[in-house]
Chains A and B, each alone.
Chain A
Amino acid sequence: MTQTDSVQDDRELMTRAQAGDMSAFEALVSRHEDKVYGLALRMTRSEADAAEITQDTFLSAYQHLSEFRGEAAFGSWVHRIAANNALMRLRRQKVLDIVSDEITGPEFTERGSLAELPDSDWSKRADDKVLDDELGRAIRAATDALPEGYREVFLLKDVEGLSYEEISEMVGISIPAVKSRLHRARLALREAIDAFYKEV
């Protein structure tokens, strides 16, 4: 099924759900629960919080069904609700303080050259259909280890595909700050993947 087919199917289910068809709404939930739960889990690092955020997100979506006009895809709409819910929860827990010193990146010589030369080009692994289990674990650990403010920006941009403007508005920081955090998060994750391939 193509992405266009999927969006079209969502629209049809949405029309039925707006007319009161509960089974259509449940079908929408089934189609999007994994992505919503995955986002919430990566943002909060808590399975319990992720489950609650997923419940709140779909309940909120149901309560606002009549406001959904269909200009956006249902998936995008519900993922933004989930991201907002996760951010609100993190703010309540006051864990959004940034400790940027914890972020690692490449090291440079005094003349600005790379201090350590890469010894393997693993970029083609991104094309592999199946991800190595150990690499997956290393990436999840590195993502979880990012400071909150960096992790949320990385997840919202590179995993959820939100725009810089949307993230800036959601997180309450400037677009240049969003870009700076995204770049540093990517550098840290690249380092983690590089370290994984050096060890194997």
Chain B
Amino acid sequence: MFNCKDSIDSLLPFLDGEMSAEEEEHLRKHLNGCPPCVEFVRTYRATSPLCRKALVKAMPPEVAGRLKAFLRNKIESK
């Protein structure tokens, strides 16, 4: 029988679909009786999409301008 720690330790293979049937059964049994872990799984799963949104960073226009100038210069000098 899994406890909270076992369940959280197994989240990565669970979400990757790489858990054995036996382990998955242990996890599901724990989740059925542990609402905090169900919430933990939901928030663990939501972490990566939220981070992706936060980490989008547009290149500043002046840096983009320097990039194009750099590439033209390097390519034309060949």
Contact = CB atoms under 8 A, between A and B. Distances in A.
A and B: partners? Answer: yes
A88 interface: no
Interface in A29-48: 29-30, 33-34, 37-38, 41-42, 47
Interface string B61-78: 001101110111011000
Given A33-B59, A118-B36, A189-B51, A55 B71 contact: yes
Contact of A140 (B8, B45, B54): B54
Interface in A106-163: 106, 108, 111-114, 117-118, 121-126, 131, 135-136, 139-140, 143, 154-155, 158-159
A131 B43 contact: no
A80 interface: no
A196 to B, nearest CB: 10
B42 A123 contact: yes
Nearest to A138: B54
A29 B68 contact: yes
A159 B55 contact: yes
A182 interface: yes
Interface in A164-200: 179, 182-183, 186-187, 189-190, 193-194
B50 A114 contact: no
A85 interface: no
15 contacts: A33-B64, A37-B57, A41-B57, A62-B75, A121-B39, A123-B39, A123-B46, A140-B55, A154-B51, A158-B52, A183-B12, A186-B47, A190-B43, A193-B47, A194-B43
Interface of B: 3-6, 8-9, 11-13, 36-37, 39-40, 42-59, 63-64, 66-68, 70-72, 74-75
